[in-house]
Structures are given as C-alpha cells and as structure tokens.
Amino acid sequence: MDERAQIRVVGTSAAQQIDALLETVSRACAGRRSVSVLQVGARIAPVNKAERNWRHLAEGRFGSRTRFTGLDVEAGDNVDLVCDICGDPAALGQALGHSRFELIVCEHVLEHVRVPWRAADAMRSLLAPGGHLFVAVPWAYPHHARPDDYWRMSFAGVALLLEPLEIVNLFYTGTAAGLDVAYRVTRGDAVELSPAIGAVEQGLFQLTLDHADNKDLLEQQPGQRLPLSREYMPAMLVNVIARKPY
C-alpha cells in the first residue's frame, strides 16, 4: 500500500456495499450449480424486523442456485437449524452436513456471545476456499442485552479475531431508521487497514462540547441525563468483509 497516498473518507451506503459483496460472490461462483450461504444469528425478532433479509438478498442474486441456511441458538422465523456457533465444532459440522459455504453472514451477533473467538474459529472452518465472511458489530452503541451484551469491537479488533483471513473491505454504518449512510476509509484506491483509521474516526465522528454547551444539551433532553462526559459519538457499527484464501 502506498503510504504517501492521501487517506480519504468515501461516502457510500450499506446497500451499495452489500450489493458489491453479493456481486463478488456471484462472480466467484460463476458456473457452479449451487451457492451455499450461512447466516449466523438468523432469527428475525420483532425488534429487528427492519434489518436486511439475507435469505431474500441471496435468492434475489443467486436465484435457484441458492442453498441458504439460517442458524440460531433459538428457533424462530428464518431459522433452519437451531445450533450454537460456539458449540462443539464436530457437532456443529455434523449438524450442517459438513458443508462449506461461499458466503457467511454474522450481523449483530458477536457482541452477544461469551467467546467470540470461538465463533470466529467456527466460521473460518466453515468457509469454503475463496469464500467471503461478512461481520457487523457495534463499536459505539448503547447496552442491549439479548440475552446479554459483552463486547465492543473496532475494525482492528475484528480483523484480529478473523486472522488469517484476508480483509477486503471495511465500512462504518449508523443505525438511524431510513438513513442508509456508510463510510469507507481508503488510501489511494485501496481500503485503509492501518491504525490511521482511528484518527479519521476521531475527526469524523467525535463531538466535544465545552461545559456550558454540554450542560444546555443535557437539560434539553427528555428524561434524566447525567453529566458524565463532554465527548460524544453517534451509535456506530463497524462492518468487515474477509476472504478465505484458496
């Protein structure tokens, strides 16, 4: 990577990035009779009805070739297999028919599992050579216990968790309903993977108020607000796409 090239923040959307991922998988699977897709944490609950429906996205892109499996620790809408991604690897492999997947999706899951490195190990082993893994986790986000909330992860943290997979894309997203805004940090034409992302993030998202402005802001909010800090960041997710080498 050219260290002299300027770091840029590129505006995009989650829909564009997901569409590009599906197109990449489609090209990689050209000529194959089936495309296997696994969604970890697939259960659709009333609280997340507005989330992307990966089954429909996959079927819309791959058509009748789609072999979609929705995995979750609880039965429910969109769940094909009740199983723990952090459970016994041999039992998990047997439950999945020892399949390997061209695409694995793990969205809003790793913050809720006690041992995310075990989940990462399982997903790496379930990826087919050349397959892609999409992970989305909160970086700045309120506590949300479903059933509990253990972890916050940066880009660097997710990349470390997924080693030795190749990181091919990173982008930030928010959580505002109806606002599909995303940002990528690039250097030249390549996605930026260095700690320099942190400086960009700090300048782009962090807001620091002086004492008087902070006091006024809190007083204008409904309900009780405690003056704990003068530094604020929006609710923000980090999204990582990784690829398993052939």
Q: pLDDT tens digit string along 104-147?
A: 999 999 999 999 999 999 999 999 999 999 999 999 999 998 88
Percent of the chain residues topping a pLDDT of 70: 95
User: d(Cα 99, Cα 109) in Å, to the nearest integer?
Assistant: 21
Q: pLDDT tens digit string along 142-199?
A: 999 888 999 999 999 999 999 999 999 999 999 766 689 999 999 988 999 999 998 8
DSSP conformation class of 176: -
Q: pLDDT tens digit string along 186-222?
A: 998 899 999 999 888 888 889 999 999 999 999 999 9
DSSP conformation class of 105: E
User: d(Cα 154, Cα 140) in Å, to the nearest integer?
Assistant: 9
Provide mean pLDDT across the span 41-69: 86
Provide mean pLDDT across the span 43-72: 87
Of the candidate CATH numbers 3.40.50.150, 3.40.50.720, 3.40.50.300, 2.130.10.10, the domain formed by 14-175+233-243 belongs to 3.40.50.150
3-state secondary structure 38-66: EEECCCCCHHHCCCCCHHHHHHHHHHHHE
pLDDT at 36 over 70: yes
Chain centre to alpha carbon of residue 105: 8
Is residue 150 a contact partner of residue 111, using CB atoms and an 8 Å limit?
Answer: yes
Query: What is the pTM for the complete model shown?
Result: 0.93
For residue 1, what pLDDT is reported?
A: 44
Report helix, strand and coil shares of the chain as percent, to nearest 5: 30, 30, 40
Q: pLDDT tens digit string along 61-93?
A: 999 999 999 999 999 999 999 999 999 999 999
Provide mean pLDDT across the span 19-47: 92
User: d(Cα 229, Cα 129) in Å, to the nearest integer?
Assistant: 46
pLDDT at 46 over 70: no
At 228, phi and psi to the nearest 5?
A: -95, -30
Residue ranges per structural domain of the chain: 14-175+233-243
Tokens at residue 54, please?
């990966």
For residue 50, what pLDDT is reported?
A: 55
pLDDT at 226 over 50: yes
Provide mean pLDDT across the span 13-39: 96
Please compute, for residue 66, the number of CA atoms within 13 A of its CA located in the half-sphere on the CB side: 19
User: d(Cα 58, Cα 67) in Å, to the nearest integer?
Assistant: 9
For residue 198, what pLDDT is reported?
A: 86
For residue 119, what pLDDT is reported?
A: 98
For residue 122, what pLDDT is reported?
A: 97
